[in-house]
Amino acid sequence: MISSPLEGLLVLDLAQFLSGPSAALRLGDLGARVIKIERPGTGDICRTLYLTDTDIAGDSTLFHAINRNKESFAADLKDVADLTAVRALIARADVLIQNFRPGVIERLGLGYDAVRAINPRIVYAGISGYGEDGPWADLPGQDLLAQAVSGAMWLSGSEGDGPVPLGLSIADMLAGHLVVEGVLAALVRRGITGEGAHIQTSLLEAIVDLQFEVLTTHLNDDGKLPMRSAFNNAHAYLAAPYGVYATQDGHLALAMTPLDTLGRLLTMPTLVDLAGEPNAGFTRRDEIKRLIAERLRTRPTADWITLLRSEDVWCAPVLDWPRLLASEAFGRLDMLQEMARGPSRILTTRRPLRIAGERAPSSAAAPSVGQHTAAIRAELGLPERAAH
């Protein structure tokens, strides 16, 4: 059984923050050897990007989550000797990932053309904020800003609300996934032709692609904008009852359900009558959702779940993390793992993909800055790095 299909491949992670390192993380989870090249001393800026005051072995939990199973090679890319060492690694590498602002990597002498001259078989992946040229190219490629200009932030929330960002770094993570998709495709092609490839995407492309379903509707609907529901909006294009509703003790998510079925189960004759009106779920969406909300507040979530699921109505309780983690369903997925760096321990997620029924754990926690520099230089036949 092959649980590490990329074993034997070498990935160089020259990226910082989230998008590029998340792509390298996924490749490492699939068995590739990942060497993270970062500046001596301070390392990746993400090491000090704290989401809370939790510190593990001198680094943020965010850094630990996204850089597990990597080796750290400290190199100043403006130093001739260090750059020579990085080029020696490039000569052996299968994949290089970078997310510098457009033009920066070229000025450092590690743009695609320069790297391809060293290693024509390399798969070179770059992530920008908004593409490599154009009026936005030099703007900071940051997740919240990409959400803002993409339309996704405007699409969320109820009518009358201001823009609502997703509470996750969604553009960063999606861009990382797209890079993995492109890298794997290029590696397959390389196996056929022997040629490397240049893979490019951006935060904006990633989050626009996330919206391809609804954006396609807009592009082919005379440019009409969708109308967000004024009450409990969950999807601007979907009819009532689609939304999230308060119950007596929590919240319940309701997906696409025929109004007559829901009216019968909730003992709401008005809903049954409305089901007979053409397109009532759209034309009277807010009215219908307010009626359903009033009814669902009268009983606990568990009661409604039992009733609705008995007739295959698509619904789910809204869980916080403690309730999700305590659930049997989540436990059966076996998605958590504990790793150690020295005396410090971190509990984090595991690879979200099973191969031949196996979900392989990571072999190592995120490294300290330059933890593997000496060993890698010895492997390359280079002298130890001089003190700076």
Burial of 130 per CB tally in 10 Å (0-12, 13-18, 19+): buried
Cβ atoms of 369 and 63 within 8 Å: the answer is: no
Break the chain down into helix, strand, coil percent, rounded to 5. Answer: 40, 15, 45
**pLDDT at 2 > cutoff 70:** no
pLDDT of residue 387: 63
172 labelled catalytic: yes
Angle between helical axes of 80-92 and 373-380 (0-180°, round to 10): 70
**Domains of the chain (ranges, CATH numbers):** 10-210+332-380 (3.40.50.10540), 251-317 (no CATH)
**pLDDT at 1 > cutoff 70:** no
Tell me the chain's radius of gyration from C-alpha atoms: 25
User: How far is the C-alpha of 294 from the C-alpha of 283, rounded, in Å?
Assistant: 19
pLDDT tens digits for range 326-351: 999 999 999 999 999 999 999 999 99
User: Tokens 């003190």 identify what position?
Assistant: 387
Sheet holding 243-246, edge to edge: 243-246, 251-254, 315-317
Q: How far from chain centre, in Å, is Cα 253? A: 23
Strands 10-13 and 33-38: parallel
Catalytic residue among 143, 172, 249, 273: 172
Instruction: Return mean pLDDT, the chain.
Output: 95
Strand partners, 252: 245, 317
User: How far is the C-alpha of 356 from the C-alpha of 361, rounded, in Å?
Assistant: 14
pLDDT tens digits for range 61-86: 999 999 999 999 999 999 999 999 99
User: Tokens 């939790």 identify what position?
Assistant: 54
Could you please report the per-residue DSSP string of 87-132? HHHHHH-SEEEE-PPTTHHHHTT-SHHHHHHH-TT-EEEEEESS-S
**pLDDT at 360 > cutoff 90:** no
User: How far is the C-alpha of 102 from the C-alpha of 118, rounded, in Å?
Assistant: 21
pLDDT of residue 361: 74
Higher pLDDT, 302 or 358: 302
User: How far is the C-alpha of 86 from the C-alpha of 82, rounded, in Å?
Assistant: 6
Structure tokens at 89: 């690694």
pLDDT of residue 362: 75
**pLDDT at 14 > cutoff 80:** yes
Cβ atoms of 365 and 68 within 8 Å: the answer is: yes
The phi and psi torsions of 68 (rounded to 5 degrees) equal -65, 155
